[in-house]
Structure 1
Amino acid sequence: MADDLLADFVRADQEKSLGCYGIHVHREGGTPLSHRFRSDDRVNLYSVAKTFTAVAAGMAVAEGRFDLDDHFLDHFPELRGIAADGFERVTLRHLITMTSGSTHKWHANERIDAADLLHEFVAAPLDAEPGARFQYTGSGPYAIGRLLARTTGADVKAYLEPRLFKPLDLHNPAWHTCPLGFPFAESDLFLRTEELSRFAQLLLQEGTWQGRQIIAPAYVRSLPADPVDTSSLSEYGPGFTNGYGLGVWLSGDGTYRMDGAYGQYAIVDPARRATVTVTAHSTDDVALLDAIDTLVLQRL
């Protein structure tokens, strides 16, 4: 049950029909708080999966598999013949931050008719210089998933299994795949609220879990450190205009968050040494995010 800290949030969910499934609050040195609004099932985290893929890329960098400033086609030279003009300048960082400049737009809820989605993405024309424009799409993170498979011999789920999922006791989470069998990477990873909160806590602790360094601290710090400009997204609300880092959205107040459709949030607050994790099926993401901020985060 929620204690007094969560009481107003629980009431707001009921009164405003925010659609929450569960909330979990981690406070460093304090007792965890949680409240369930419905059964504790694993749910689709949607674009929160992008953060897991960005972290997987950081782990591979630490292993010397590649560098984020590598050009993608250097790892897929066989695709140079079909690549759009300018795609040779697209780096792995551009793909993670969704600034490739490609006109290709795809998300995991959309049917894949191409024989190979990666080929379709690489061949799509560019209408902006790589790095110059943010466009929200799953194409780049999906390509990073394919890169992980190419450079490590394991798809993103299999790669994370011993390195991240097992240490956090996230037992065999489902991750939907494309027709070729590669995890979507940008979406469709399934976890429970509290399971996702462990990942948020890991980032708060700069990659350390139970005395073991799982992610390089410098890489965790880099996730929100150099965001790309997202000021053009004002129609989506203030939570989307403060920049996008390596798989995370910046909130403008020192916090950053993983963010998936219908209200899947894992917010990391380094100043308060806390995380807030919510899963939901919300029809008003802006109202839900505002309730988390005003009724929970600001009261910690």
Structure 2
Amino acid sequence: MVDRTVTDRTAAEQAGFDPGLERKLCAGIEAGLLRDVHCVLVSRGGRLVLEHYREAPDESWGASLGTVAFDTETLHDLRSVTKSVTSLLYGIALDRGLVPPPEASLLAQFLEYPDLAAEPARAKLTIGHALTMTLGLEWDEYRSYADPLNSEIAMENAPDRYRFALEQPIVAEPGTRWVYSGGATALVGAIIERGTGRRIEDFAREALFEPLGIKTFEWLRGSDGVSSPASGLRLTAPDLLRIGRLVLEGGLSEGRQVVSPQWIASTRAPLVSTDDGLGYGYFWFHGEAPALGAARPWLAGFGNGGQRLWLLPDLDIACVIFSGNYNAPDAWVSPTRIWREIVLANLVAA
């Protein structure tokens, strides 16, 4: 494995950061404590303090890419970090009056299923329930994504993905139980496409990527030709960091309001609790980190294999991690250690 690193040591020292940040990251990788790391980018106050790339095997939605020398121009699967980008796209479409608000009926956006809308319990579903993954419908994404019984994979293989997601058995009152669901994101993606009249990738290009200077991306599609708003986006690490900076800066990019501050505020609000103790709201995970004598809120996009976009608004810190530990139950360990033991431990005073 080859190490490819660019670190702004001078900027780090001027900002009072630990100049050994890169060394500590590399030591963890070399010791085997941090596994399958492809790249790590960290910024604070808009200043890049760590940019670390490696050479390693990679894949895209299960298709091997061989050994990849990662750098600033390498596209990488975001997997479910895509969901957080989809949240921003919904917010932009909402700002433009192209989609209904979160409190609107979900099934009213899918008039092709009158039989489902006729069920009183199912008729209670709102777009907000999809955005917070509290639909109350049966869904199982805890299985490996290599397992055809995984609900998202089953949806991809279904003749009608939206009916599949909407007709699942009701297991809880809407809004009362969080269940991780790519199906919920598929429904929001469909609402964006129907409201804007464009494929989600085309709307993303005009509404989000071009204003941020993002010129190269891919959005993977299922066998039915539908782009996946839950896991299909591929971006470079610097471009994902740009999206993180946009959120930290209240939706502003170089003086232009790309996303309304109201929607950014909505994404920063944890609305429900997950089954592992974190908060969740509008396709973002939420937690707290000890910093400057208080618990400071963070929000993050998490993706299969160890993909992460972590944001700590109070201290203006953004962290991008790309990894290759796909479908592994311990894929969360290395990115969490990088966030806690490398980023927070060295850039934040408790």
Matches of 1:137 and 1:265, distance apart in 2: 18
Q: Distance in 1 between matches of 2:191 and 2:47?
A: 40
8 Å CA contact 2:34, 2:337 repeated in 1: no
Distance 1:296 1:76, change over 3 A: same
- Structure 2 CA distance, aligned partners of 1:136 and 1:150? 24
Query: SS at the partner of 2:239?
Result: helix
1:86 to 118, 121, 142: 121
Q: Does 1:261 align with 2:278?
A: no
Hey, what does 1:67 align to over in structure 2?
A: 101
Could you tell me how far apart the structure 2 residues matched to 1:29 and 1:167 are?
Answer: 17
Alpha-carbon separation, structure 2, partners of 1:157 and 1:108: 20
Contact 1:161/1:172, CA 8 A, preserved across alignment: no
Superposed, 1:187-198 pairs within 5 Å as 187-198=231-242
Aligned residues: 292
Shift in Å at residue 79 of structure 1?
Answer: 1.1
Provide the secondary structure at the position in 2 that maps to 1:78: coil
CA distance in 2, matches of 1:143, 1:202: 25
What secondary structure does 1:99 align onto?
coil
Indicate how the Cα distance of structure 1 residues 111 and 31 shifts in structure 2: closer, same or farther if over 3 A, else same: closer
In structure 2, the gaps of 5 or more residues are 1-5, 10-19, 56-68, 141-149, 290-296
Within the candidate set 139, 160, 167, 1:116 is matched to 160
Deviation at 1:159, TM superposition (A): 1.2
2:15 is aligned to none
Question: Residue deviations 1:144-186, cap 9 Å, x none?
Answer: 1111111110122111111111122222411112333221111
Aligned counterparts, 1:209-224, within 5 A = 209-224=253-268
Larger-gyration structure (1/2): 2
Q: Is the 8 A contact 1:95 1:140 kept in 2?
A: yes
Identity, % of aligned pairs?
25
Is the CA contact 2:134–2:174 (under 8 Å) kept in the aligned structure 1?
yes
* Alpha carbons of structure 1 residues 287 and 104: separation in structure 2 relative to 1, 3 Å: closer
- State TM-score, norm by structure 1: 0.91
Query: Which residue is 2:86 aligned to?
Result: 53
Matching of residue 252 in structure 1 with residue 288 in structure 2: yes
Give unpaired runs (5+ residues) of structure 1: 234-240
SS of equivalent residue, structure 2 residue 107: helix
CA drift of 1:35 comes to 1.0
Kept in 1: contact 2:241–2:318 (CA 8 A): yes
**Which one of the candidate residues 63, 66, 76 is aligned to 1:43?**
76
- Superimposed CA distance per residue, residues 47-98 of structure 1 (whole angstroms, 9 cap, x where no aligned partner): 0000011111111111112111111111222212145652211111111111
Q: Which has the higher strand share?
A: 2
TM-superposed CA distance for 1:295, in Å, is 1.4
2:161 partner letter: L
SS of the residue 2:220 aligns to: coil
Task: State the TM-score, normalizing by the size of structure 2.
Answer: 0.78
Separation in 1 of the partners of 2:153 and 2:216?
A: 22
Structure 2 equivalent of residue 289 of structure 1: 336
Could you say if the C-alpha distance between residues 162 and 29 of structure 1 is closer, same or farther in structure 2, counting changes exceeding 3 Å? closer
| 1:86-132 deviation line (CA, Å, top 9, x unaligned) | 22111111111111001144565557332111011222221111111
